[in-house]
């Protein structure tokens, strides 16, 4: 008899640990443990998503005749961590072996590697074959030169899957249509009504549990609408396909009050196993072939799913644990309290944090160019900003969150993920959103009483890291502009930035960002 241990982000019938399961003999183990809910204080919606999806998935397995030993969070005997619960289950079932699929987090892999010895049963850790590229293949593919960059890796994934290919050539004659995907929204644009799923009785029960046990975690629960079963996830994918034609043009655009726009809203479902990357990419491709979506939108979406998503996973598994320990820009500032309260005069940040609290969601550009950009410019310690992202987004699992934050946002990996830091001043935010129009700060001013902090922090960042980035050809333009500034203006920028840092680092800062004028 084998005990198949399924984790909360492995909720798919095709998961490798279930291969060859013998329902009359084997038992599936699923456990809800407080240690995993609290090692970072996850957003309440994320907890509901995972726990509700686990309970639904267990019911689906039982309906197939599979025995599921399911330990609930409020079970009085629950030891509340993976290792303790596995040991208890082994004592209950006395299996010959435990079978698991490789986890999504290096920390959990270390736990798993200790189980055989600690619990006294052989533990088989199977590869997670939901991905197109294994870590070993990734290491081989990206070993040298140009192929180490995402764009070349992505082309290889296109060739391998045949997606948007005409023989050996990319459909439309180009691999990448990104240049067409950076449009701003027209003023006052109204986004589409997106499909949200009304919680069923089981989800409602989990919501009550989460509110009772983790009520002080970040986030609102009353707006929960994530898909929690494969059937719902497929409906969410269908909903996305109806807005896919506009996804390309406006995937970088932001607008106050429009929390979802034309984005897929499928990452939570993908990351816990309710959908697979290949099926969503193929569904998008089919829209192109049916003449319902343009190539720039479909290519842009497919690149995110089979390019970026696979690439960051490869970076994570080939780089850990050393990858997370790097801090190339020596960033050490603590995370300002307004990341949790949203109380800041900076409207861009307040709006993205408000959406994050309401939905456990923000789209890519909001994460990268608003909360991420500020963290980069302010030199927030990578570990602190990573913990925040891991906690607040419903789709955040470390294999995908960490490289995006550590590499793309914080540039802490010294450029492994991106050859230049994603740093921007207010002009970028003003171009891609309507945030600046309603902001109390002056988006055009670099210095002075009401100058936008993104401006002086941006120039201060360039000054601080001139030795590292001054000769980077991709940063030639901003450094030319910096060189053209007079000494007086440079000094004023540094002094504005120092004053700002003193306010956010100060002893009163945690509860009083607004009153401090930040
Ligand atoms: C700082 C930062 C942190 C992020 N943290 C996460 C995270 O914890 N989990 C996560 O799934 N994504 C993360 N991303 C990537 C991206 O922001 C989310 O995948 C996306 O916002 C999810 O929403 P969506 O399904 O509407 O995606 P869309 O914007 O519609 O994109 C389609 C799909 O492409 C994939 N994708 C797009 N960009 C990336 C990327 N950079 N890395 C990996 N997959 C990508 C996702 O699966 C997504 O569902 C992060 C990006 C940044 C800049
Ligand atoms: S003016 Fe500055 S702080 Fe205000 S919304 Fe624009 S970029 Fe953000």
Residue 66, C-beta contacts closer than 8 angstroms, at least 6 positions apart: 21, 23, 26, 28
Return the pLDDT at 202. 98
Does 1.10.579.10 match the CATH number of domain 337-502? yes
Return the pLDDT at 511. 44
The Cα–Cα gap between 213 and 73 comes to 9
Calculate how far, in angstroms, residue 179's C-alpha sits from the geometric centre of ligand 1.
19
Calculate how far, in angstroms, residue 390's C-alpha sits from the geometric centre of ligand 1.
12
Q: Which of 375, 425, 436 to mutate to test the pocket of ligand 2 (most atoms within 8 A of CB)?
A: 436
Helix axes 476-483, 453-464, angle to 10 degrees: 100
Outline which parts of the chain fall under CATH 3.40.50.620: 2-126
Torsion angles phi and psi, residue 111, rounded to 5:
-60, -50
- Ligand 2 in reach of 377 Cβ (< 6 A): no
Report which ligand 2 atom has the smallest distance to the Cα of 347. Answer: 5
∠ CA 345-346-347, rounded to 5°: 100
Q: Which of 244, 375, 400 to mutate to test the pocket of ligand 1 (most atoms within 8 A of CB)?
A: 400
Calculate how far, in angstroms, residue 305's C-alpha sits from the geometric centre of ligand 1.
8
Return the pLDDT at 294. 95
Q: In the chain, how many H helices and how many E strands?
A: 25, 7
Return the pLDDT at 146. 59
Calculate how far, in angstroms, residue 263's C-alpha sits from the geometric centre of ligand 2.
23
The residue ranges of the chain whose pLDDT is under 70 are: 144-147, 506-518
Calculate how far, in angstroms, residue 480's C-alpha sits from the geometric centre of ligand 2.
24
Nearest CA to ligand 2 atom 8: 348
Return the pLDDT at 288. 98
Instruction: Specify which residues 29 forms β-bridges with.
Output: 5, 69
Tokens 């003003």 — which residue? 430
CB under 6 Å to ligand 1: residues?
Answer: 263-267, 270-271, 301, 304-305, 308-309, 312, 363-364, 367-368, 372, 389, 393, 395-396, 400-401, 404-405, 408-409
For the segment 278-301, what is each residue's pLDDT rounded down to a tens digit?
A: 999 999 999 999 999 999 999 999
Outline which parts of the chain fall under CATH 1.25.40.80: 135-319
Return the pLDDT at 182. 83
State the pTM of this model: 0.97
> Counting ligands in written order, which one lies closest to the CA of residue 450?
2
Percent of the chain exceeding pLDDT 70 equals 97
Q: Which of 178, 272, 304, 396 to mutate to test the pocket of ligand 1 (most atoms within 8 A of CB)?
A: 304
Neighbour tally for 365: CB within 10 Å = 22
Outline which parts of the chain fall under CATH 1.10.579.10: 337-502
CATH number of 135-319: 1.25.40.80
- Name the CATH superfamily housing domain 2-126: HUPs (3.40.50.620)
Q: Which of 365, 429, 459 to mutate to test the pocket of ligand 2 (most atoms within 8 A of CB)?
A: 429
The Cα–Cα gap between 101 and 109 comes to 10
The Cα–Cα gap between 498 and 35 comes to 39
């Amino acid at each position: 008899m084998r005990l198949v241990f399924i984790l909360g982000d492995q909720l798919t019938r095709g998961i490798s640990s279930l291969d060859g399961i013998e329902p009359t003999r084997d038992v599936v183990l699923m456990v809800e443990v407080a240690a995993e809910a609290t090692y970072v204080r996850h957003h309440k919606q994320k907890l509901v998503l995972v726990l509700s999806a686990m309970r639904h998935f267990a019911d689906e397995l039982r309906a197939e005749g599979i025995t599921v030993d399911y330990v609930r969070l409020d079970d009085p005997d629950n030891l509340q961590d993976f290792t303790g619960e596995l040991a208890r289950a082994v004592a209950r079932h006395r299996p010959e072996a435990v079978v698991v699929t490789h986890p999504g987090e290096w920390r959990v892999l270390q736990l798993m590697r200790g189980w055989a010895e600690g619990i006294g049963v052989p533990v088989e850790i199977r590869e997670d074959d939901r991905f197109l590229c294994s870590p070993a293949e990734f290491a081989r593919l990206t070993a040298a030169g140009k192929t180490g960059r995402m764009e070349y890796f992505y082309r290889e994934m296109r060739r391998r899957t045949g997606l948007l290919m005409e023989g050996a050539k990319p459909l439309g004659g180009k691999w990448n249509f990104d240049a067409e995907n950076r449009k701003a929204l027209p003023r006052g644009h109204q986004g589409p009504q997106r499909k949200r799923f009304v919680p069923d009785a089981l989800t409602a029960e989990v919501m009550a549990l989460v509110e009772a046990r983790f009520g002080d975690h970040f986030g609102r629960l009353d707006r929960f609408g994530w898909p929690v079963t494969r059937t719902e996830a497929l409906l969410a994918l269908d909903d996305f396909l109806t807005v896919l034609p506009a996804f390309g043009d406006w995937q970088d655009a932001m607008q106050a009050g429009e929390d979802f726009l034309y984005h897929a809203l499928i990452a939570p479902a993908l990351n816990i196993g309710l959908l697979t990357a290949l099926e969503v990419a193929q569904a998008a491709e089919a829209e192109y072939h049916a003449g319902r979506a343009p190539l720039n939108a479909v290519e842009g979406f497919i690149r995110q799913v089979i390019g970026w998503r696979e690439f960051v996973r490869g970076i994570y598994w080939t780089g850990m644990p050393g990858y997370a320990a790097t801090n190339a820009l020596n960033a050490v500032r603590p995370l300002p309290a307004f990341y949790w309260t949203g109380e800041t005069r900076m409207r861009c940040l307040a709006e993205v944090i408000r959406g994050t609290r309401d939905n456990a969601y923000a789209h890519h550009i909001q994460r990268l160019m608003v909360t991420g950009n500020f963290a980069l410019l302010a030199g927030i310690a990578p570990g602190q900003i990573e913990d925040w992202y891991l906690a607040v987004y419903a789709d955040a699992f470390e294999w995908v969150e960490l490289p995006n934050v550590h590499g793309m946002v914080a540039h802490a990996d010294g450029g492994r993920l991106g050859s230049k830091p994603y740093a921007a001043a207010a002009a970028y935010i003003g171009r891609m959103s309507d945030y600046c129009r309603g902001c109390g700060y002056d988006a055009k001013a670099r210095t002075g009483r009401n100058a936008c902090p993104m401006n002086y922090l941006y120039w201060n960042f360039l000054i601080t890291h001139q030795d590292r980035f001054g000769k980077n050809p991709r940063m030639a333009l901003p450094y030319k502009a910096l060189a053209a500034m007079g000494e007086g203006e440079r000094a004023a920028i540094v002094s504005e930035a120092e004053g700002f840092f003193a306010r956010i680092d100060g002893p009163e800062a945690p509860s009083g960002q607004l009153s401090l004028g930040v």
